[in-house]
Structure 1
Amino acid sequence: MKSLLDRPAPTTTAALTLRRGAARVLLDNWTGTSTVPSRTLYPHQWSWDSAFIAIGLRHLSSRRAQQELESLLAGQWDDGRIPHIVFNPALPHDAYFPSPDFWRSSTAGRQAGAPAAPETSGIVQPPVHALAAWLVHRADPAESRRRGFLARVLPRLAAWHDYLLAHRDLGGDGLAAVVHPWEPGMDNSPCWDQALHRVEPAAPDAFQRADLDHGHPADRPTDLDYGRYVSLATDYRDASYDDETTRFAFAMEDPSFNALLIASERALAAMARETGADATAHARRADTLTRHLVMRLWDEKAGIFRTRDVLTGALVDERSVSGLIPLIVPHLPEHIVGRLVATLNGPHFSAPATHLVPSYDLHGHAFDAHRYWRGPAWFNTAWLIHRGLHTHGRIQQAADLRQGFVTEAGATGFAEYVDPASGDPRGARHFSWTAALTLDLLCADPKEPTP
């Protein structure tokens, strides 16, 4: 196999330098079986991180991109869920909190089908995996067919979606709900604040955070946030991760989570057609989910999708980047696409200095340019919105976002996220999904068809 750094590169010197830097990040963060998001802050395998990483790796080595996804699927539970962390057994438990001995997946999750090994968490993250698998296949179809990649991952990814729609439709209206703020991937978004007030936090001496050893407290969720996260995870664990019997104090229908489920259902349909299977069920389910997404979460007056609190039935009156990510849905009604683009370009989300998209309303009451998902601009959400703009023919706006993305990624040393106004890097550096998605924007065919 050729070195990852020896593959054909973009033609300009700046693009070549950026591409080599991104490839180096992925090489340095490779563990031998998968890629960690960060050697310091996130030393295990994370679910949606690996999906984004595979999307970038496909331009360097399709085989390694396949391995990235299949190593994650080795931690899948029998009930279909893909856990949000697959732990590296070679690391000490205090390398990250919550650690394997907190989640106790192999014992507490046994009834739900957790594997005896590896140890995992018990919650999930956004279902972007099937989209990633399809893009990995498309990067080198001959190699994918030779190795039987789609035949192996298709049933496992279908089981993952089945789990979400059979066990997580907590509102009974056709959308998947998240039961912990870590599940939608936007951990401390202001969208969760009101619902989290229902949660009694764990006592401060009941846990020891590891993230503050590597991240600045001003960038990270507060101790009160963490106390509530620990409390929710403890309740779920103590109920054996049973979605039927757990009394969830937090249950939300998130627009980004469900939009990614729709995009991945369409990817499953494409994968089924490629392997000679019947794609009808996946295509129909994508259409049905799209209707439910619009009926349940679209706010016509605000021009954005909202999160719905399943326990109260109310839409959450906050503007978040999660509400823009449904642009990735291929057959979204055109008038909704127009409203979303107008909102993206309007005062709540327009950050001209970086051309990236803040994670929360620039004029919102809880905006904080530095603290995790309460304002900073993230590269994975920018990639999703870029793809959505392309999907709906907004080519120039997609190009502007792409330019902002690659500029800030290079200038910040592939930072985890940035201040949307100044571009100052925040969080971890040499962050894997930032590097991987930079590679994708530099190398992908802009005319690549949407599944």
Structure 2
Amino acid sequence: DLGIIAILHRATKDLLKMGEQLGLNDARTDYLAQRLQITEQAINTLWCEQSQYFYCRDVLTNSLAKVKTSAALLTVYAGLTSDEQTKIINTATEDFIESSQFSVASTHPKEEKYEPQRYWRGPIWLHINWMIAIGLKEAGFVTTAEKIQDDTRNLVVKSGYYEYFNPETGAGCGGKDFSWTAAIALHWLLD
């Protein structure tokens, strides 16, 4: 799963940085550095040259699951993309943004598998938006990152602190008064 890979990769980089700041240099940090290398060497096995997109791998068929999801957008956050791939992912993110009333849908709205309220088949998750925006901003795509932040803020203003949101209507879905939504809003959206 690209989302898990990307989040874990970024977290591992952060742990190594903390270890460096604390003066740690031992088997634990060596292990983490090795894990980073493995991911960096393998990530392009999830890149489809034909469609210019990262996909999750279907472990049953050992083939790419060619459904465009927001998980691919997290590869920039993880620092796993080449400069060219980063530009391509930014363009893909812009397409996600333009394809629904609110962004970023977890499955691209033009995909056959898209369902705007079905868990991970379309809804917007604020913590995922936050990470996508961080990655794009760090890569220099500030306008795209700010658009995601504005859309995300509009969701909270419109519907409150729900677990996830319908990208077509902005309606809150799942649990109401959800803690991770409130945490992201406090940290990233509210003045």
What TM-score do the two structures reach when normalised by structure 1? 0.39
Q: Does 1:282 align with 2:29?
A: no
Shift of 1:275: 1.3
Distance 1:277 1:417 in 2: 39
Within a 5 Å distance, the mapping from 1:35-184 to structure 2 comes to none
Which residue is equivalent to 2:83? 334
Q: If you compute each CA radius of gyration, which structure gives the higher value, 1 or 2?
A: 1
Q: Does 1:316 align with 2:65?
A: yes
Shift of 1:383: 1.0
Letter in 2 for 1:357: V
Is the contact between residue 269 and residue 282 of structure 1 (CA under 8 Å) also seen in structure 2?
yes
Letter in 2 for 1:312: T
Letter in 1 for 2:115: D
Q: CA RMSD in A?
A: 2.1
Shift of 1:287: 3.6
Counterpart selection for 1:425 from 149, 160, 172:
172
Which residue is equivalent to 2:147? 400
- Provide the secondary structure at the position in 2 that maps to 1:324: helix
Which residue is equivalent to 2:13? 266
Letter in 2 for 1:305: F
Counterpart selection for 2:127 from 366, 376, 380:
380
Change (3 A) 1:331 1:378: closer
Counterpart selection for 1:361 from 108, 115, 119:
108
Letter in 2 for 1:379: L
Distance 1:410 1:421 in 2: 15
Residues paired across the two proteins, number: 188
Is the contact between residue 304 and residue 324 of structure 1 (CA under 8 Å) also seen in structure 2?
no
Is the contact between residue 349 and residue 361 of structure 1 (CA under 8 Å) also seen in structure 2?
no
Shift of 1:434: 0.7
Is the contact between residue 414 and residue 429 of structure 1 (CA under 8 Å) also seen in structure 2?
yes
- Provide the secondary structure at the position in 2 that maps to 1:377: coil
Distance 1:430 1:266 in 2: 32
Change (3 A) 1:443 1:285: farther
Shift of 1:285: 3.3
Q: Does 1:256 align with 2:6?
A: no
Shift of 1:352: 5.3
1:183-240 deviations in Å (ceiling 9; x for gaps):
xxxxxxxxxxxxxxxxxxxxxxxxxxxxxxxxxxxxxxxxxxxxxxxxxxxxxxxxxx
Change (3 A) 1:329 1:381: same
Is the contact between residue 349 and residue 362 of structure 1 (CA under 8 Å) also seen in structure 2?
no
Percent of paired sites with the same residue: 26
Distance 1:391 1:336 in 2: 15
- Provide the secondary structure at the position in 2 that maps to 1:421: coil
Shift of 1:311: 3.2
Q: Which protein has the bigger helix share?
A: 2
Letter in 1 for 2:35: R
Shift of 1:332: 2.3
1:25-80 deviations in Å (ceiling 9; x for gaps):
xxxxxxxxxxxxxxxxxxxxxxxxxxxxxxxxxxxxxxxxxxxxxxxxxxxxxxxx
Is the contact between residue 109 and residue 122 of structure 2 (CA under 8 Å) also seen in structure 1?
yes
Counterpart selection for 2:118 from 339, 348, 371:
371
Letter in 1 for 2:98: S
Is the contact between residue 415 and residue 428 of structure 1 (CA under 8 Å) also seen in structure 2?
yes
Distance 2:112 2:97 in 1: 14
Shift of 1:435: 0.7
Gaps in structure 2 of 5+ consecutive residues: none
Shift of 1:306: 0.7
- Provide the secondary structure at the position in 2 that maps to 1:288: helix
Letter in 2 for 1:285: R
